[in-house]
Structure 1
Amino acid sequence: MSDYDVIILGGGPGGYLAAERLGHAKKKVLLVEEQYLGGTCLNVGCIPTKSLLNSAKLYLHARHSEQFGVTAGNVAFDWGRVQAWKDEVVTTLVGGVGMAERKAGVEVANAHGTLVGPGVVEVAGERKTADHVIIATGSVPVMPPIPGAKDNPAVVDSTGLLGLESFPSRLAVIGGGVIGVEFASLFAAFGAQVEVIELLPEILPFADTDIASKIRKGIQGVTFHLGCKVTGIEGSTVVYSDAQGVEARTEADVVLMAVGRRPALTGWGAEEAGLETTPRGVVVDDTMRTNLPNVWAVGDVTGRSLLAHAAYRMAEIAVAHILDPAGAARSGQVLRTQTIPWAVYSIPEAAGVGLTQAQAVQQGLDVVTATVPLVLSGRFVAENGLKAPGAVKIIAEKDSRVIRGIHALGPYSPETIWGAAAILESEYTIDDLRQVVFPHPTVSEGIREAAWAINN
């Protein structure tokens, strides 16, 4: 008889949610987390950055409130108190995760775990057995071999930037993905001189090009160097060249390395246990099964989608198949990556789901699109004015009129994109969407306006 029903390696979003669901189902669960419950997202990722961004937005609103008839004097920010607020939020939520696990009856081991083989995990040097094992070891920042970057105190990853004790007046960001863009807009909002160096011709390569361009142009106080390759770092100076090979230099106080993250595949026994992996992650099918019997993998470590909410969904799928394989199969409990939304919490923020226009064309689809400005929304204008960036774009197949992508820029986009995901999950046509009643006045009405703009 096994020691546990399920052992989970990793206490991030995928791991802790799986543990909680299994615990409430009366399974005996051991959650093994070496560093901290909540993983990267809660401790040094999603949540702390949102706390800092909220402070930055409040600062911006106070500085620019006169157009709305409100005058604020002596507006300033205290970086130490901003950091203290971030720490308070993180501490509170980490405690909440621990409480949720205890309430579900989950045993938590603050120790290093190693997968020995199917059903066998070594925890702090002691072997434990289980009927099932879930791998949720997450991801780590990518640190490319740029000359001058290694062991350079001026170069930090996202974790290092979150922990800065003093506010930098100049920030250089290498990488124009989600992490780079969010931090760039955050520090620029507080008044830092920020420059972003991106290898590709546009930021946020997963986003529709039209929306990505609008995001870039809408971020105030940031200089973007697109199509540029970083060739070296000298102290805190970033050296790069453009597409024509012309060299340039960006002087900074701090350099953020934000070229992405990769699955954490080493240090916990994947290769030794015979688990199938590629450089992209642990190989799983759409039910999150690995090549080893009763060994599952969820979250960033799979490389399928490096998003916390994707990890939640993967965890739910694995748990469904562990608890009731036949029922999970009947109800279609599989991962559908094409309807996982993305969100960027920059200033301005954006979100999207489904295909971009370029992806649709690459797949050979004949599509129609419509992009509408959010100034068509009364609430958007009332709260942001006429010059604030905002837009919604819809992509649909021309003949069937089935909607294949919805992308939005502007306030509340991440809060409303779940509705767009449901639209794609349900395979709504443009005509179906036109019959949905949106509350008025809301910014979400931009989706309805875009639906009516197609072919009109």
Structure 2
Amino acid sequence: MKKYDLVVIGFGKGGKTIAKFAAGQGKSVAVIEKSKAMYGGTCINVGCVPSKVLVHDSIEGVQFDDGLKRKQQVVDALNNKNYHNLSDDSAIEVLDYTARFKSNEEVELYDEAGEVVEIITGDNIIINTGATPVIPAIEGVKTSQHLYDSTGIMNLKEQPKRLVIIGGGYISLEFASTFANYGTEVTVLEHGKAIMPREDKKVAAEVVRILEDKGVKFILEADTTEIADQDGFTVVKTTQGSFKADAVLLAVGREPNTDLGLEHTDIELGDRGEIKTDEYLRTTVDSIYALGDVKGGMQFTYISLDDFRIVKDQLFGEGKRSTENRGAVPYSVFIDPPLSRVGLTAEEAIDEGYDILENTLPVNQIPRHKINNDPRGLFTAVVDKKTGYILGASLLGKESEELINQIKLAMDYNISYEVLRDNIYTHPTMSESFNDLFKMA
């Protein structure tokens, strides 16, 4: 049995980064990855990078087939770069096997035939196995030839004329926007009563309006009951009627990858099947940590990267960094134009007892929109009236994915909204919108 200083299960953002850092500290490292297609993790192979290439190219007017080709070129290049970044390091061994725990300390490596080829152990073990799309128990799901998850929909042989998306969450909306830009007829089936119910209501309504202007149809309170293939197409049957499709995307959430033989360990799972961790990302076994999507919570690659920072501080630093002190976490939904959010909405702030100041700024009042030739969108900001600190912002509009990070910094460092309001910005830019957005009544 071979022993390493650090064993990393999964080649994701947090895992690959802690592996490289540990190797740089003179530690022996094993990185176990069962799929060569996943070197580098979800983001670069089947998540944010390929999907955003398609988003970008759909906006730029690139043809669907050409967008798919460029997407694959980008993925292949990053996959190869990530593999060699670790495999070319003499302190790191990349092991192409399936990992399963034999005990709290031992990890069995299985080949494609399901045979154990080796058992390894490490002083510390990192679980970084990510998450996969949820496949609901709908009649016809296992037999349909036109059904795809978020990975499969990016590998179509040809552009569908009609796309039905089951689920109305953020992944669903990104694909709805992208395929609509390519000219596909898109229908979104949402079982709830609203799209983006946790977002600012004004902003969510504007998102729906913009997507409907692209031709996207939203069917609310629709429960899918059956997916039935016909001659060359599929019929999606729901409580709100039936819908014909050349392709169907299942986008009803993602679940942690925990098929790791955890029953042979003292690692505990949470209510949603995630690996339980404390604020330092330790599992219920002190020498085992979990990073990224497998531990539940926000499924962003930058969260996985910050998870790396926490574990690095545990293993090589002072142990002070934790999930409790990483600050406000922004996110962007890459519809066209993108929606970016950090902190609280006005409704949430009021519910939490704040006396607030709020302002709303239509994008068509920002001078830069004339140059961008894109007046769509709405910016909102919420401030604590007592302290002047920013409580949150929702930015729907071009370049919002960049702007939101400036607001995050202001929130983390308790910078008054007046600083952003009165700051000097270059012109003509989208960031100078802060001069007007933060003019609170």
TM-score, normalized by length of structure 1? 0.88
Letter in 1 for 2:108: E
Whether 1:117 and 2:119 are equivalent positions in the alignment is: no
Residue in structure 2 matching 1:353, options 331, 342, 353: 342
| CA distance in 2 between partners of 1:440 and 1:248 (Å) | 51
Partner of 1:307: 300
Letter in 2 for 1:50: K
Residue in structure 2 matching 1:323, options 309, 316, 328: 316
Would the aligned equivalents of 1:314 and 1:335 in 2 still touch at CA under 8 Å?
no
| CA distance in 2 between partners of 1:298 and 1:137 (Å) | 8
Partner of 1:157: 149
Q: Match of 2:305, SS?
A: helix
In the TM superposition, what whole-angstrom CA distance separates every residue of 1:93-120 from its partner, at most 9, and x where no partner exists? 1112123224654321111112333332
Letter in 2 for 1:273: T
Partner of 1:376: 365
Q: How far off its partner does 1:436 sit?
A: 3.7
Q: Match of 1:393, SS?
A: strand
| CA distance in 2 between partners of 1:291 and 1:375 (Å) | 52
Go from structure 1 to structure 2 and tell me whether the alpha carbon gap of 1:337 and 1:185 turns closer, same or farther (over 3 Å shift): farther
Whether 1:101 and 2:94 are equivalent positions in the alignment is: no
Would the aligned equivalents of 1:374 and 1:443 in 2 still touch at CA under 8 Å?
no
Letter in 2 for 1:369: E
| CA distance in 2 between partners of 1:227 and 1:398 (Å) | 38
Q: Match of 2:255, SS?
A: strand
Would the aligned equivalents of 1:353 and 1:407 in 2 still touch at CA under 8 Å?
yes
Letter in 1 for 2:86: E
| CA distance in 2 between partners of 1:338 and 1:202 (Å) | 29
Residue in structure 2 matching 1:340, options 323, 329, 348: 329
Letter in 2 for 1:237: V
| CA distance in 2 between partners of 1:448 and 1:4 (Å) | 54
Structure 2 unmatched runs, 5+: 111-115
Would the aligned equivalents of 2:421 and 2:437 in 1 still touch at CA under 8 Å?
no
Go from structure 1 to structure 2 and tell me whether the alpha carbon gap of 1:92 and 1:364 turns closer, same or farther (over 3 Å shift): same
| CA distance in 1 between partners of 2:86 and 2:204 (Å) | 39
Q: How far off its partner does 1:206 sit?
A: 4.3
Whether 1:15 and 2:7 are equivalent positions in the alignment is: no
Q: How far off its partner does 1:446 sit?
A: 2.4
Letter in 1 for 2:49: I
Residue in structure 2 matching 1:201, options 193, 199, 213: 193
Letter in 1 for 2:161: S
Q: Match of 1:369, SS?
A: strand
Letter in 2 for 1:268: L
In the TM superposition, what whole-angstrom CA distance separates every residue of 1:192-249 from its partner, at most 9, and x where no partner exists? 11111112233234433322221221121211122332233233222223xxxxx322
Whether 1:88 and 2:73 are equivalent positions in the alignment is: yes
Q: Match of 1:255, SS?
A: strand
Structure 1 unmatched runs, 5+: 60-75, 242-246
| CA distance in 2 between partners of 1:140 and 1:410 (Å) | 30
Would the aligned equivalents of 2:422 and 2:435 in 1 still touch at CA under 8 Å?
no
Q: Match of 2:319, SS?
A: helix
Go from structure 1 to structure 2 and tell me whether the alpha carbon gap of 1:287 and 1:349 turns closer, same or farther (over 3 Å shift): same
| CA distance in 2 between partners of 1:451 and 1:103 (Å) | 50
Letter in 1 for 2:421: R
Residue in structure 1 matching 2:220, options 220, 223, 226: 226
| CA distance in 2 between partners of 1:445 and 1:200 (Å) | 37
Residue in structure 2 matching 1:54, options 53, 56, 64: 56
> 1:237-276 maps to which residues of 2 (within 5 A)?
237-241=235-239, 247-265=240-258, 267-276=259-268
Q: Match of 2:430, SS?
A: coil
Letter in 2 for 1:96: K
In the TM superposition, what whole-angstrom CA distance separates every residue of 1:113-163 from its partner, at most 9, and x where no partner exists? 123333322223322121111111100101111223232112211111111
Q: How far off its partner does 1:391 sit?
A: 2.0
Q: How far off its partner does 1:309 sit?
A: 1.2
Q: How far off its partner does 1:337 sit?
A: 6.9
Go from structure 1 to structure 2 and tell me whether the alpha carbon gap of 1:206 and 1:95 turns closer, same or farther (over 3 Å shift): farther
Would the aligned equivalents of 1:189 and 1:221 in 2 still touch at CA under 8 Å?
no
Would the aligned equivalents of 1:177 and 1:205 in 2 still touch at CA under 8 Å?
no
Would the aligned equivalents of 2:421 and 2:434 in 1 still touch at CA under 8 Å?
no
Partner of 1:284: 277
| CA distance in 1 between partners of 2:197 and 2:94 (Å) | 38
| CA distance in 2 between partners of 1:315 and 1:154 (Å) | 38
TM-score, normalized by length of structure 2? 0.90
Residue in structure 1 matching 2:387, options 382, 397, 400: 400
Partner of 1:147: 139
Q: Match of 1:143, SS?
A: coil
Letter in 1 for 2:96: N
Partner of 1:64: none
Go from structure 1 to structure 2 and tell me whether the alpha carbon gap of 1:52 and 1:231 turns closer, same or farther (over 3 Å shift): same
